[in-house]
Chains A and B, each alone.
Chain A
């Protein structure tokens, strides 16, 4: 039963990857990678129960959060060009001069 569901998840991940490769805009790619990450969370949960080791679920938990942070960071990078890590840009960004 677990093998069938992990196969279904792998097929979904394959489809998401094809969209990530073929996606015309970067936002398609980010959406596909976001979906890929969510499916990885589910795959880890399934494999954790398949192998009987329930402590793997913590990894799925952390992966779900990191996936979200990764998507938000990718969006910030795409929309604003950089992460405003240097002080000069950060100050000017706060004043809104960069817009």
Chain B
């Protein structure tokens, strides 16, 4: 019974975080902040959801595969975000700095 409640909490937290990340990638003004929002949801939301599913699946091959999925996601998503930001910066996409930061550059 406790496992069901725990996995329910984990799954809902993962879902809510996913939606927050989705809203973030939709509303943020600049590419790099959107990348930040997308990066958050990739790892933590995946961890919460896969952990919740792992509790449901119990000890066995299924939760081992879920752990493997999470490990691959843990390694690939930050690398993809880094490659994305690197490629965008090299191609000349300037981050949108705040008003004071822009003023600081001119002084």
Where the two chains meet, the residues of A that have a C-beta atom closer than 8 Å to any C-beta of B are 1-2, 4-5, 7-9, 11-16, 18-19, 25, 27-28, 30-32, 34-35, 38-39, 41-42, 45-46, 48-49, 54, 57-58, 60-61, 64-65, 67-68, 71-72, 75, 78-79
Contacts and interface: CB of A to CB of B under 8 A. Distances in A.
B66 A5 contact: no
Given A8-B16, A8-B19, A15-B26, A31 B84 contact: yes
Contacts, number: 149
Contact of A41 (B14, B23, B60, B69): B69
B90 to A, nearest CB: 7
A57 B88 contact: no
Interface residues of B, number: 50
A45 B76 CA distance: 17
Contact of B72 (A2, A8, A61, A72): A61
